[in-house]
C-alpha cells in the first residue's frame, strides 16, 4: 500500500511538469521524461563530485537534490527558450513534433554520455520496520512520500497564493489577455518550465535512491506513465495530476501484488481508457466550453 | 500643421494593416491629448477593435507609426505596451475565469508589485509586504467599483454589468495612463448604459487617466466624449468635437445619415 503511494507520488511529481506546461502552452512536452532522466544522472554525478557518494549525510543528499533540481530547471528553461519559443506562433503540430525531436535527442545524448545502465549508490540508510502487524514500512517510501508532500505544498502555495501563481493561471487562461494586463508571458512560461523540471529532478533522485539503477531510457517509460497520470487526472489541472499519479501508482501496485506484475501495465492503461470513456476531460479536468 | 506632437499622449500616424491582401485599416489618424475622453465611432465592421489591437500590440501595423507618450509602440510586445501605461477592456468580456474577482485585479498588478520567485517560494519578508500591498490596493479598487462584497466569488459568476465593471477595475490595476474601453455599454439598456458612462467619466476624473472609448450608442458618445474620431471602412474620416462631428457632411454620409436628421 505504502509502496503504491510512493510510486504514485513519483508519477505525480513528474505529471505536474506535464500538466503545468500543458496548462500554459497547450503543449505536450515530450522532452519532460528526458529531463527526469537527466535529473537522475545529474544527481549521480553531483553525488560523486561532491563526495556525498562515499560519505552520505542527510544535508549532503539534500544538497545533491537541490543541485539536480537547479540543473534541471536550467535545462527545462533552455529547452523552452531554444526549441519551443521560436515556434510559439506556428501550428501546435509543429511544436509537438519538435518536442518529440528534443526527447529523442536528449535520450540519445544520454546514451552517448552516460552509457547504458549505471548503479546508483545508497545515499540514505535503508531500513524496514513493522509498526503494526502486517504493515511494513520501508524508509525509502517514507522519504519519498514526505519529500513529495513538502514539494506539493510548496507548489500549491506558489500557484494559489503568489503573484507568480496568479500570473501562471492567467496565462493558462489566455496568453493574449494576460499580456495585455502587463504580465510578462515569456518569463512566466520560462519559470513554469523551470518549476516543472525541478520537480522531475526531485522525482528522479527519489527513484534512483530506491531502485539503485538508472538508465538513459528511464525517461521514456517513467515519462509515459506520468503523462498517463496527467491525462487521467485531467491535463492542465494541478490537483488532477496529483490525483492521477496516486491513482496510477496504487493501481499498479495492487495489480502486481494481487494478480501478477505482468498484468500491471495492461490494467493501468485499461483503467485509463475506462475513465476517459466516461470522463473525457480526465478526473478533475474541466471540459472546455466553446467561447461564443 | 496641427498641434505639436509632444502635447499628445497617443498619436496614430497614417497607420495601416493588411491581412494578406485585405486592407483592414489604412490611413488611420488619431490624436489624443492627455486627460481627454476621446470617442472612436464608426459603423459595424469599420475596424474599431482592430485599432485597439494595433495599439496594444496584438497586431503590428504594416504602415505608419503609433506614438505613445513620445515614443513609438510599433514592434513592442503587448506586455511591454501594457507596462508603458495602456490598459484595456474587451468587447466580449475577457476576465480570467477560474480565478476569483479579487485575483483578477491582483494579477494585473504583476508589474509593479511582485517579489522575485525565490522570495515568494521562501516566504521572505519582502514577499509578505508586497502581498499585503497588493491585497490592500486590490481591495480599495474593488470597493470603489462596488465589487468588494463579491471579491471571493469566481469572476464568471458575476452578473453581466458587474463583469463589465470588474474588467475596468482590472485594467486600472495595471496603472494605465491611457485606458482603452471597447464598447463598455454593449448589451446594456439605456439606463444601465447611462450609469456606466457616468462611471467612465468619473474614472477619468478620479484616476487621472485618458480614455479612448469605442461605443455604438451614438447619444452616449456625443454626450460624454470631448473629442471624437470617426472611422469608416478602416480609415479615419473625421476628428473633432461632438458638435463638429455631428455637422461633418462626410460623417453624416458615412454613418449618421438619416439617424441624425431624424433626431434633429
Are A197 and A102 in contact by the 8 Å Cβ rule? The answer is: no
- How do the domains of chain B map onto residue ranges? 5-85+176-263, 97-169
Please give the average per-residue pLDDT across B100-129, as a whole number: 73
Please give the average per-residue pLDDT across B62-74, as a whole number: 92
For residue A188, the chain B residue with the least C-alpha distance is B117
Which residues of chain A make contact with B103, given a CB cutoff of 8 A? 166, 169
Nearest to A96 by CA among A161, A51, A30: A30
Q: Is the pLDDT assigned to residue B264 strictly greater than 50?
A: no
* CB-nearest partner of A182 from B83, B92, B103: B83
Contact B131 A191 (CB under 8 A): no
Higher pLDDT among residues B249 and A72, named by residue: A72
Q: Which of A181-185, A259-263, B143-147, B236-240 has the lowest mean pLDDT?
A: A259-263
pLDDT of residue A286: 64
Is residue B176 less than 8 Å (CB to CB) from chain A?
no
Best residue in A160, A182, A240 for a mutation probing chain B (most B CBs within 10 Å):
A182
Measured CA distances, B45 to B83, B89, B233 (Å): 29, 19, 7
Would you report the helix, strand and coil content of chain A in percent, each value rounded to 5? 75, 5, 20
What pLDDT, in 10s, does the model give residues A134-180?
Answer: 777 888 888 899 999 999 999 999 999 888 999 999 999 999 999 99
pLDDT of residue B260: 46
CA distance A115 to chain B (A): 36
Which residues of chain A make contact with B94, given a CB cutoff of 8 A? 174, 177
Contact B98 A286 (CB under 8 A): yes
Please give the average per-residue pLDDT across A50-54, as a whole number: 82
Q: Which of A142-151, B51-60, B108-117 has the lowest mean pLDDT?
A: B108-117
Higher pLDDT among residues A274 and A285, named by residue: A274
* CB-nearest partner of B82 from A173, A180, A291: A180
A/B interface, count of CB pairs below 8 Å: 97
Are A168 and A188 in contact by the 8 Å Cβ rule? The answer is: yes
Task: Count Cβ atoms within 10 A of the Cβ of residue B103 and give its class: 0-12 exposed, 13-18 middle, 19 or more buried.
Answer: buried
CA distance A133 to chain B (A): 40
- Quickly state the pLDDT bin for B117 (edges 50, 70, 90): low
Q: Going along chain B, which residue ranges are E strands? A: 10-19, 22-32, 37-41, 63-68, 71-72, 86-88, 178-182, 210-214, 227-232, 235-240
Please give the average per-residue pLDDT across A169-193, as a whole number: 93
Under 8 Å CB-to-CB from A63, ≥6 apart: which residues? A50, A52
- Quickly state the pLDDT bin for B124 (edges 50, 70, 90): low
Please give the average per-residue pLDDT across A181-196, as a whole number: 93
- Quickly state the pLDDT bin for B189 (edges 50, 70, 90): confident
pLDDT of residue A121: 82
* CB-nearest partner of B82 from A167, A181, A191: A181
What pLDDT, in 10s, does the model give residues B165-174?
Answer: 999 999 999 9
CA distance A162 to chain B (A): 7
Specify the length of chain B in residues: 264
pLDDT of residue B116: 56
- Quickly state the pLDDT bin for B194 (edges 50, 70, 90): confident
* CB-nearest partner of A174 from B94, B115, B171: B94
- How do the domains of chain A map onto residue ranges? 2-124+137-218
Are A138 and A128 in contact by the 8 Å Cβ rule? The answer is: yes
* CB-nearest partner of A183 from B79, B88, B99: B79
Please give the average per-residue pLDDT across B47-70, as a whole number: 92
Question: Domain B5-85+176-263 belongs to what architecture?
Answer: 3-Layer(aba) Sandwich (3.40)
Please give the average per-residue pLDDT across B53-79, as a whole number: 93
Highest mean pLDDT among A114-123, A135-144, A186-195, B21-30: A186-195
Which residues of chain A make contact with B92, given a CB cutoff of 8 A? 291-292
Q: Is the pLDDT assigned to residue B45 strictly greater than 70?
A: yes
Is residue A161 less than 8 Å (CB to CB) from chain B?
yes
Amino acid at each position: 500500500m505504502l509502496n503504491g503511494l510512493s510510486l504514485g507520488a513519483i508519477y505525480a511529481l513528474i505529471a505536474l511538469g506535464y500538466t503545468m506546461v500543458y496548462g500554459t502552452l497547450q503543449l505536450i512536452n515530450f522532452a519532460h521524461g528526458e529531463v527526469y532522466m537527466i535529473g537522475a544522472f545529474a544527481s549521480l554525478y553531483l553525488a560523486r563530485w561532491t563526495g556525498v557518494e562515499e560519505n552520505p549525510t542527510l544535508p549532503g543528499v539534500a544538497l545533491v537534490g537541490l543541485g539536480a533540481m537547479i540543473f534541471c530547471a536550467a535545462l527545462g528553461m533552455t529547452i523552452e527558450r531554444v526549441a519551443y519559443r521560436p515556434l510559439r506562433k506556428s501550428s501546435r503540430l509543429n511544436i509537438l513534433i519538435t518536442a518529440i525531436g528534443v526527447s529523442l535527442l536528449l535520450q540519445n545524448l544520454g546514451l552517448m554520455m552516460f552509457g547504458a545502465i549505471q548503479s546508483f549508490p545508497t545515499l540514505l540508510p535503508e531500513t524496514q520496520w513493522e509498526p503494526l502487524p502486517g504493515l511494513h514500512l520501508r524508509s525509502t517510501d517514507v522519504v519519498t512520500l514526505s519529500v513529495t508532500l513538502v514539494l506539493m505544498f510548496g507548489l500549491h502555495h506558489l500557484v494559489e497564493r503568489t503573484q507568480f501563481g496568479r500570473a501562471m493561471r492567467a496565462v493558462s487562461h489566455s496568453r493574449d489577455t494576460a499580456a495585455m494586463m502587463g504580465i510578462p508571458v515569456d518569463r512566466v512560461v520560462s519559470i513554469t518550465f523551470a518549476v516543472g523540471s525541478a520537480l522531475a529532478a526531485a522525482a528522479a533522485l527519489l527513484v534512483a535512491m530506491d531502485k539503485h539503477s538508472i538508465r538513459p531510457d528511464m525517461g521514456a517509460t517513467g515519462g509515459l506513465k506520468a503523462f498517463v497520470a496527467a491525462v487521467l487526472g485531467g491535463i492542465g489541472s494541478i490537483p488532477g495530476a496529483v490525483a492521477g499519479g496516486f491513482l496510477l501508482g496504487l493501481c499498479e501496485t495492487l495489480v502486481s501484488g494481487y494478480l501478477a506484475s505482468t498484468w500491471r501495465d495492461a490494467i493501468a492503461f485499461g483503467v485509463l481508457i475506462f475513465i476517459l470513456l466516461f470522463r473525457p476531460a480526465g478526473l478533475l479536468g474541466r471540459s472546455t466550453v466553446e467561447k461564443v | 500643421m496641427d498641434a505639436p506632437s509632444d502635447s499628445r499622449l497617443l498619436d496614430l500616424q497614417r497607420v495601416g494593416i493588411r491581412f494578406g491582401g485585405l486592407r483592414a485599416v489604412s490611413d488611420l489618424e488619431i490624436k489624443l491629448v492627455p486627460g481627454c475622453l476621446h470617442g472612436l465611432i464608426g459603423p459595424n465592421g469599420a475596424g474599431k477593435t482592430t485599432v485597439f489591437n494595433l495599439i496594444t500590440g496584438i497586431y503590428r501595423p504594416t504602415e505608419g507609426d503609433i506614438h505613445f507618450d513620445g515614443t513609438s509602440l510599433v514592434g513592442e510586445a503587448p506586455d511591454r505596451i501594457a507596462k508603458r501605461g495602456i490598459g484595456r477592456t474587451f468587447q466580449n468580456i475577457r476576465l480570467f475565469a477560474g480565478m476569483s474577482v479579487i485575483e483578477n485585479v491582483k494579477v494585473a498588478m504583476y508589474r509593479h508589485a511582485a517579489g522575485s520567485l525565490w522570495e515568494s517560494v521562501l516566504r521572505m519578508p519582502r514577499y509578505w509586504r508586497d502581498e499585503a500591498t497588493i491585497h490592500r490596493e486590490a481591495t480599495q479598487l474593488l470597493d470603489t467599483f462596488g465589487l468588494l462584497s463579491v471579491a471571493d466569488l469566481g469572476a464568471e459568476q458575476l452578473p453581466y454589468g458587474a463583469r463589465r465593471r470588474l474588467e475596468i477595475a482590472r485594467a486600472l490595476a495595471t496603472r494605465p495612463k491611457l485606458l482603452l474601453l471597447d464598447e463598455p455599454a454593449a448589451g446594456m439598456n439605456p439606463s444601465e448604459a447611462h450609469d456606466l458612462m457616468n462611471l467612465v467619466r468619473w474614472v477619468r476624473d478620479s484616476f487621472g487617466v485618458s480614455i479612448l472609448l469605442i461605443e455604438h450608442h451614438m447619444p452616449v458618445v456625443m454626450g460624454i466624449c470631448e473629442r471624437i474620431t470617426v472611422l469608416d471602412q478602416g480609415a479615419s474620416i473625421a476628428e473633432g468635437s461632438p458638435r463638429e462631428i455631428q455637422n461633418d457632411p462626410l460623417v453624416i454620409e458615412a454613418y449618421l445619415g438619416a439617424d441624425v436628421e431624424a433626431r434633429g
